[in-house]
Structure 1
């Protein structure tokens, strides 16, 4: 059967269409789906478009932000209050891609893509998932990523994050062979809140170091309760690769990713460009 495109006016309608056909796919920004279509991996089936304006809106309440899953990287870059996420949004392709690539779509990008999701993971994001009718349920992004692809997860309607009180507490770094828009060798995001000169509640996330973005929990443990000084950074470097499962691909080898990870982690932690 040829490709069929249906437009849903509400999230519930879209969720119902997706639930009724396990092969159906949501067509949001199209940077993933259209690539599969153009390269012949997708030749038939149902594509669902969601026309609900809320799907492409950003709602702010104090430091809490809800991104409609259809919000694009270009939209994020236009908002000054989201400046701490601009580095991660700017890491997504060039201007043409950023005009189309969405927050929700980035959650499903296969490694070594998905740089914006790495930033969201460091910020302890919640994914709002709608299954059929009713209200969306909140799923921790870490849990969402762990279960991605195992079973139909429903329609992602939004992503919620709490912005850091101090923008300097959040750092993002993408390493690529081609700048500024090359595919990631790896990416790192770090939330490093401090109290009394010591790190409290560090959250570190990696991209391209496992099949999905992951937390660097050994690094978090090495930093918590410590001043962010040379000794703490050395301790973080020593456990940087713990729990990682990088792949070898056209961008970099598994060996290379493991070798350069501690170097770039140290640079990010020390505030180097």
Structure 2
């Protein structure tokens, strides 16, 4: 059976097809799925194309940000209200890839890809899902990533999160051997809002340090309630590797990722992100 392409209008119809046909996969920008077809990884099934305008919706002006799953990295880069996400979006391939690569697609990217998802995880994002029955439901991104490997997540319609507290509250770095568009050795995102000079509500996330992007909860515990000084950064570096499961691949070894993660975390926390 060859690979077929099917176009539908509504999100609920698309979700119903995905729920009833295990061979169906949603086609966003195609940067991952089309590659799988070209390389013979996917040889049969259905590529489902949903053209619902809601997938391209962007609500970015208020305290709460909502981005449709079909929003591309190029669209993020064009949004002045999303400047804090520009570094993460710019790390996704080259200009041609960014015009097609979508937020929703990045949520399903295998390690060592998924850098934009790492940024969303540090922003405590939630995803709106359609599962093919009933209405939509909202799920924390961290929970969605934990369920991803088991399948049956449903159709991701949008991603929502609170705008970072200030210009310096959100930080992101992608570590790659080839800059600017090489595959990640690792990536780190941190949301560090402060109250009276002390961190309140710290969120730190890693990419390429586990099967999916993951929260660095040991680092968050170290940072919480403390000022971001040299002693705090040193303590965070000591806790950096807790809970990580980096793999060895063509980009870097497990040993190398473990060696360089604390170094780049320290630089990120110190504001050295260039």
TM-score band w.r.t. shorter chain: over 0.9
Q: Is the 8 A contact 2:8 2:49 kept in 1?
A: yes
Alignment correspondent of 1:158:
158
Instruction: Confirm or deny that 1:39 pairs with 2:31.
Output: no
Structure-1 separation of matches of 2:146 and 2:63: 27
Deviation at 1:120, TM superposition (A): 0.2
Deviation at 1:5, TM superposition (A): 0.9
Q: Is the 8 A contact 2:60 2:81 kept in 1?
A: no
Instruction: Confirm or deny that 1:239 pairs with 2:239.
Output: yes
Structure-2 separation of matches of 1:157 and 1:9: 13
Alignment correspondent of 2:100:
100
Structure-1 separation of matches of 2:147 and 2:3: 27
Deviation at 1:133, TM superposition (A): 4.2
Alignment correspondent of 1:203:
203
Alignment correspondent of 1:49:
49
Deviation at 1:172, TM superposition (A): 0.1
Q: Secondary structure of 1:246's partner?
A: coil
Deviation per CA, 1:76-128, whole angstroms, max 9, x where unpaired? 10010000000100010100110010000000000000000000000000011
Q: Secondary structure of 1:249's partner?
A: coil
Alignment correspondent of 2:131:
131
Alignment correspondent of 1:19:
19
Deviation at 1:135, TM superposition (A): 2.4
TM-score normalised according to structure 1 size: 0.98
Deviation at 1:33, TM superposition (A): 0.5
Alignment correspondent of 1:264:
264
Structure-2 separation of matches of 1:59 and 1:263: 36
Q: Is the 8 A contact 2:123 2:203 kept in 1?
A: yes
Structure-2 separation of matches of 1:153 and 1:239: 32
Structure-2 separation of matches of 1:149 and 1:266: 31
Q: Secondary structure of 2:104's partner?
A: helix
Alignment correspondent of 1:143:
143
Q: Secondary structure of 1:135's partner?
A: coil
Alignment correspondent of 2:60:
60
Structure-2 separation of matches of 1:251 and 1:238: 25
Alignment correspondent of 1:2:
2
Structure-2 separation of matches of 1:134 and 1:168: 41
Q: Secondary structure of 2:60's partner?
A: strand
Deviation at 1:20, TM superposition (A): 1.5
Structure-2 separation of matches of 1:254 and 1:233: 23
Q: Is the 8 A contact 1:241 1:261 kept in 2?
A: yes
Q: Is the 8 A contact 2:23 2:44 kept in 1?
A: no
Alignment correspondent of 1:78:
78
Alignment correspondent of 2:113:
113
The number of aligned residues is: 273
Deviation at 1:61, TM superposition (A): 5.5
Structure-2 separation of matches of 1:86 and 1:4: 35
Deviation at 1:59, TM superposition (A): 1.9
Q: Which runs of 5+ in 1 are unaligned?
A: none
Alignment correspondent of 2:215:
215
Q: Secondary structure of 1:48's partner?
A: strand
Alignment correspondent of 2:255:
255
Q: Which runs of 5+ in 2 are unaligned?
A: none
Q: Secondary structure of 2:92's partner?
A: coil
Structure-1 separation of matches of 2:135 and 2:66: 15
